[in-house]
Amino acid sequence: MIESNELAGRHIVLGLSGGIACYKAAELTRRLVKAGATVQVVMTDAAMQFITPVTMQALSDRAVVTSQWDAREPNNMAHINLSRGADAIVVAPASADFIAKLAHGAADDLLALLCIARPIERCPLLVAPAMNREMWAHPATQRNAAQVRADGALLLGPDSGDQACGEVGDGRMLEPEALLDELVAFFQPKCLVGRRVLITAGPTFEPVDPVRGITNLSSGKMGFAIARAAAEAGAAVTLVAGPVHLPTPRGVRRIDVTTAQQMHAAVLPLAARHGVFIATAAVADWRPAAASERKVKKRAGEPAPAIQMVENPDILAEVARLPDGPYCVGFAAESHDLIANARAKRVRKGVPLIVANLGPATFGRDDNALTLVDAQGEHELPRADKLTLARALIAEIAERLPAFAA
């Protein structure tokens, strides 16, 4: 769920066309309002067959507009007035019929009218398709969707899964939480457009036997937040994740690994094809020289088994040594002497930027405080939720890239 006030100060016109997915628009409205947005709902006649304006008014705290002939507007021009103060128009659900109207410039109802009458350069249009899988796959719908994109609208989805008709496939409207995430991401600065970003996240797990292993307390939350923030900023993001139970950020390619050697094998072939490498993963420094094929049993009176350890590959240092390699950002999760250890790590790894934090104070938490350490000194990012910090870090990295490329 998006943190509150992510859309503070934003005014959203939410349009509903006809479809069973109108029930999701109620939850979407609630989430938009909770995120700080003001929401003006506009409904077509078909939408009112699925959900009532009373419901949408109660959730948005604004009278719902349903007709281009609404006399409450002093100039009787609702189709003009509604779009002029909007930061975005979101049509969810957008039926096959409504997408066809947009593609062909038809304007026989208020929602279609205001989409066409909006100032394109300052009032974006986001469209969430919702229909039966055969309707979505039909060549006419695909042509119309392509035309709507070409005309400057952003299509959100559709998703795939169970449909109200009992069939399964593409055409489901995105869930309200996903739509909210998409809208928040849309408003983020696009400072990494055209960039490819490779990120590692989470712990590694080094097996001792089939049921035991050596790992750490990293939850992966910071790395996943950075992956999301980089994708929001317009980058093509690949996330190499250790064993964590976190949903993949939308638009991010994910590769799951377990051990440090597996992470090394996944990262090294990809690194040269990316312009930025952010190593947030808490990679185990050592692993057992040989894992037992069977569970090591405890036997009464016998001493604890000795485990011979060998050093794992240093992924960050190897990437940093690549000729024409990416801009490298390392993380230092320390228990003490934070700045001194971070400075030493930056030099030892040969990277331009280290992000330092106190590991025991942040593992598993939803907030953090970071210190950026580079050749010029230190810069603190004060305590905040991890997504806010991730966005601030991505902005910092974007500012440094031109000098790195030069």
Residues belonging to the active site:
165
Query: What are the φ/ψ torsions at residue 326 (nearest 5 degrees)?
Result: -75, 165
User: How far, rounded to the nearest angstrom, does the alpha carbon of residue 58 sit from its chain's CA centroid?
Assistant: 30
Closest CA to 112 of 195, 43, 208, 204: 43
**Non-local CB neighbours of 55 within 8 Å, separated by 6+ positions:** 26
Which pair of tokens denotes residue 11? 């005014």
Tokens representing residue 301 in the block = 């009176």
Task: Locate 123 and state its tokens.
Answer: 């009032």
329, two tokens: 């950002």
* Dist CA 5 CA 113 (whole Å): 30
> Sign of torsion, CA 163 165 171 175?
negative
One DSSP character per residue, 312-357 reads PP-HHHHHHTSTT--EEEEEEEESS-HHHHHHHHHHHHT-SEEEEE
Helix (H) or strand (E) holding 389: helix 386-405
User: What gap in Å lies between CA 196 and CA 151, rounded to an integer?
Assistant: 27
Peptide bond connecting 189 to the previous residue in cis, omega within 30 degrees of 0: no
Give the residue among 267, 271, 222 at the shortest CA–CA distance from 249. Answer: 222
